[in-house]
Homo-oligomer: A and B are copies of this chain.
Amino acid sequence: MPEQVTLGKYIFERLNQLKVNTIFGLPGDFNLALLDHIDEVDGVRWAGNANELNASYAADGYARVKGLACMITTFGVGELSAANGIAGSFAEHVPVVHIVGVPTMQATKDKLLLHHTLGDGRFDVYRKMFAQICQEAIFIDDIATAPFEFDRMFKTAVVTKRPVYIALPSNFVEMTVPAALLEYKIDMVLPPNDPEVEDECISVIEKMTVEAENPVILVDACALRHEVQDLVAKLADETQFPIFATPMGKSAISEDHPRFGGIYTGVLSKPDVKEAVESADLVLSIGGLLSDFNTGSFSYEYSTRNVIEFHSDYTKVKSAKYPNVKMQYALERLVETLPQFLGDYTPVPLPTSQLAYKDITVDEEAPLTQEFLWKRVSHFFKPTDIIISETGTSAFGIVQSHFPGKVIGISQVLYGSIGFATGCAAGCSFAAEELDPARRVILFTGEGSMQLTVQSISDCCRWNLNPYLFVLNNGGYTIEKLIHGPKKDYNNIQPWDYSKILGCFAANHDYQNCKVSSEGQLDSLLSSQKFNTPDKIRMIEIMLPSFDAPQNLVEQAKISEKTNV
């Protein structure tokens, strides 16, 4: 008889193989049997989040950094609190495996009036809800197929970059499956493109590219999610075309790349960036995701119709769609072949606005402004930082900063759930520690947003993780005030004493509270060698005037109010 392993252990062995070393979630009586097996697998730990919404945000952040994440919740009461986080992962193409411990098959069949049910015998309700916001949502009902179903779901998440949902009745956890299955790694390789269709598509692209005199590359969200950043950089290296990023694509190309031209957001772009992109006669768009806040409310105004769109599962040349020509293979091929056709291309000069951050003077006593803040932090950032900015003021502001080297930038521009960033930063902190304990995680959030998910900070303290928590305190939901008028009571929030938060959560973990309100204070804090070392968790309260906002946000708000969508 071959060696057997419990399904519970099988699951964590697989996750470990996939480099999922932290499992997010909360215990609940229908998942306890499963959690028992975590400790059996070296290299896998249980984060133990303070609530499920925060766990789902953390899983999202972890997956953005490490390529896959797993969250475990319990039936009904646990999983539903994670729905918003999972919907965000779906919208933003983030691969999270959500395993839900559910009642036994027998209890389900008998429709027992169990706690955590709706009291009406409908045991399949929650899975049906998640089916709406996941790539696939399955219910494990047979131990014979269970390991294959788990493998299939892991692959589905990785390949589609979307969340998947697995309801696991508690009675299956202790049942066994052949241990030998674990010797066969899950094949995560993308199926190749159809060679003929790819040939045809590539040759059209080559022809258009050679004919173009002023082409640009525009890199967007899905280049990050589908992990083609290296190919994008090579494409810029080899062609020397100017390369721009969208707000959601920020960090898909190093901003230190010699051909990086800035962030393009339609009418919200810096004038020279707008001019450079919109006067191009060819746009190579990579991983585009054209949502309102990513495009300056749909204000792209290319002067050319020559747009080539590279997507994860198709390529589009002008109006012609080439199904299943995946960007990963298409870009690999272009990087190889394109340079030889480009003999007489002369690199055009780049917009200079993207270097404006370099010009900085500190007026010691001057009150802090958004303008100064985003310039100054650009000099604080290091090439391996992971930088998360919250929807609202921070997400707009961060666009105006400079990311050096291989910074990973995260901002939930499409789905835009406030509170996300703090939970996401916690998840990134787990990932960063696993990749390199010296790596820094830096959060920018607003005090209104941080209130939604504040206990995520406790999750960091529990594991001695040391993110920088920059809290922009401007007295309420400034973005909403800008969109819909300043004098609305409903956009004010309860003022907290933020200096008490770390003291409450940190237990024996070392921490530092700071509060800065002038240019000089921020400058001297960020200049301190000690402060630059991530050896403790830090909260930095940035005091800002209530209606001071990044210029691009002010413009966006005007558009939003006018169009009223």
Contact = CB atoms under 8 A, between A and B. Distances in A.
A504 interface: yes
A91 interface: yes
A419 B451 contact: no
Interface string A286-306: 000111110000100000000
Given A84-B80, A114-B292, A489-B39, A507 B503 contact: no
A29 B480 contact: yes
Contact of A459 (B290, B477, B494): B494
A80 B77 contact: no
Interface string A98-115: 000001101100001111
A125 interface: yes
Contact of A564 (B51, B104, B291): B104
A29 B484 contact: yes
Contacts of A133: 118, 125, 129
A36 interface: yes
A291 B119 contact: yes
Contacts of A80: 83-84, 87
A490 B455 contact: no
Interface stretch (A179-187, A208-216, A232-240, A409-417): A409-417
B113 A493 contact: no
A397 interface: no
Interface string A437-469: 000000000000001111100110110000000
Given A28-B480, A48-B492, A113-B291, A118 B90 contact: yes
Contacts of A459: 494
Contacts of A76: 84, 87, 415, 417
A516 B278 CA distance: 68
A6 interface: no
A267 B46 CA distance: 36
Interface string A31-59: 01101101100000010101111000000
A81 B53 contact: yes
B490 A35 contact: yes
Given A77-B418, A170-B564, A496-B458, A491 B27 contact: yes
Q: For the side of the interface on A, what is the size category?
A: 35 or more
Contacts of A505: 494, 496
Interface in A496-514: 496-498, 500-501, 503-505, 507
A490 B101 CA distance: 15
Contact of A129 (B50, B132, B293, B455): B132
Nearest to A459: B494
Contacts of A104: 564-565
A464 B488 CA distance: 20
Contacts of A496: 458, 504-505, 507
A497 B461 CA distance: 13
Nearest to A45: B489
Given A293-B115, A458-B496, A500-B500, A77 B83 contact: no
B494 A504 contact: no
Contact of A91 (B38, B119, B491): B119
A171 B564 CA distance: 8
A333 interface: no
A488 to B, nearest CB: 7
Contacts of A491: 27
A128 interface: yes
A88 interface: yes
A504 B493 contact: no
A116 interface: yes
A117 interface: yes
Please provide the 5 A-B residue pairs with the shortest distance between their CB atoms, ordered closest to farther: A77-B417, A80-B84, A500-B504, A51-B452, A462-B494
27 contacts: A27-B488, A29-B560, A36-B488, A51-B453, A76-B87, A76-B415, A77-B84, A77-B417, A80-B87, A81-B84, A83-B84, A91-B119, A92-B119, A104-B564, A104-B565, A106-B565, A107-B565, A112-B292, A115-B291, A115-B391, A115-B416, A125-B132, A129-B129, A171-B564, A455-B455, A494-B505, A496-B507
Interface of A: 27-29, 32-33, 35-36, 38-39, 46, 48, 50-53, 76-77, 80-81, 83-84, 87-88, 90-92, 103-104, 106-107, 112-119, 122, 125, 128-129, 132-133, 170-171, 289-293, 298, 391, 413-419, 451-455, 458-459, 461-462, 477, 480, 483-484, 488-498, 500-501, 503-505, 507, 560, 564-565
Given A27-B488, A46-B489, A81-B417, 19 more contacts: A29-B480, A32-B488, A38-B490, A46-B490, A48-B490, A48-B493, A48-B494, A51-B419, A51-B452, A77-B418, A80-B84, A80-B87, A81-B84, A114-B292, A116-B415, A122-B132, A458-B494, A494-B507, A504-B504
